[in-house]
A and B are shown apart, each in its own frame.
Chain A
């Protein structure tokens, strides 16, 4: 693929529902990041993978948030028992793996919890 893709682009959930957000990184990129962007704010780091290993999950706001990347490619961010404060744009980014590499971002998934 030409870039990072995310699906769905928009998701509306009722409070208490579980949601799953998908990220397809650029082919061959070993690093994958998830960020949360609240309205009017800059993106904030959630979690980071190097291949299939989740190396940093310090940004996940609660144990309701879970991310996986089982085969080192596609990643899924799951939010259980969604709350209104989870409403945000969830951005995925990938990079080729070295510390200084550019992170390429997908278009994001806009989650609205009613």
Chain B
């Protein structure tokens, strides 16, 4: 079974600084996908970024980028120029490349605090 581990229950960063959230996963599959979701106090699950395992290039979305190390099964999220609105719980998730009904397996989450 696939597992996802986020070893940092809490992180904090100063506004405008950069922070990196860690995620490791365990799988024997070669075709899979990785996601970072953000959950602010409103509880809404918001997709931040996604990475296809077959792509060597790291995904980026504006201030958000990932460091995907397939051999090490590591998928960290870097947030640059942190803003107060980035404060949230961040979840790393793994999805298998199945042709139907791919469940997401989530990590335990990292609570990010942004200090003004």
Real complex partners, A and B? Answer: no
The interface of chain B, by Cβ under 8 A from chain A, is none
